[in-house]
Amino acid sequence: MSVPLILTLLAGGATFIGALLGVLGQKPSNRLLAFSLGFAAGIMLLISLMEMLPAALGEEGMSPVLGYGMFIVGLLGYFALDRLLPHAHPQDLIDPPPAHASRNLRRTALLLTLGISLHNFPEGIATYVTASTNLELGFGIALAVALHNIPEGLAVAGPVYAATGSRRKAVIWAGLSGMAEILGGVLAWLILGTMVSPVVMAAIMAAVAGIMVALSVDELMPLAKEIDPHNNPSYGVLCGMSVMGLSLTLLQTSGLSG
Q: What is the per-residue pLDDT across 131-141, written as a single tens digit (0 to 9) for each?
A: 887 787 788 88
Instruction: Confirm or deny that 136 is annotated as ligand binding.
Output: no
Which pLDDT value is given to residue 67?
A: 94
Burial class (CB in 10 A: 0-12, 13-18, 19+), 248: buried
Residue 198 in contact with residue 59, Cβ under 8 Å? yes
CA–CA dist 185, 124 (Å, integer): 5
Residue 51 in contact with residue 248, Cβ under 8 Å? yes
Instruction: Confirm or deny that 149 is annotated as ligand binding.
Output: yes
Q: For 241-253, write each residue's pLDDT tens digit.
A: 998 888 778 766 7
| For residue 230, pLDDT beyond 60 | yes
Instruction: Confirm or deny that 30 is annotated as ligand binding.
Output: no
Which pLDDT value is given to residue 98?
A: 47
CA–CA dist 257, 115 (Å, integer): 36
The predicted model gives 150-179 an average pLDDT of 79
Residue 153 in contact with residue 21, Cβ under 8 Å? yes
Domain spans, the chain: 1-89+102-252
Q: How many CA atoms lie within 13 A of 170 on its CB side?
A: 26
Which pLDDT value is given to residue 148?
A: 74
Instruction: Confirm or deny that 226 is annotated as ligand binding.
Output: no
Q: Where are the beta strands (DSSP E) in 114-155?
A: none
Residue 226 in contact with residue 37, Cβ under 8 Å? no
Q: Which long-range contacts (CB under 8 A, 24 or more apart) does 20-28 make?
A: 20/153, 20/157, 20/171, 21/150, 21/153, 21/154, 22/153, 22/154, 22/157, 22/158, 22/161, 22/170, 22/174, 23/157, 23/161, 23/167, 23/170, 23/171, 24/167, 27/93, 27/154
| Collapsed DSSP state (helix, strand, coil) of residue 197 | coil
Which pLDDT value is given to residue 112?
A: 62
The predicted model gives 53-76 an average pLDDT of 92
| For residue 80, pLDDT beyond 70 | yes
Q: By percentage, how much of the chain surpasses pLDDT 70? A: 79
Sorted by sequence, the CB contacts under 8 Å of residue 44 that are 6+ apart come out as 141, 144, 212, 213, 215, 216, 220, 240
Q: For 190-205, write each residue's pLDDT tens digit.
A: 877 655 677 888 898 8
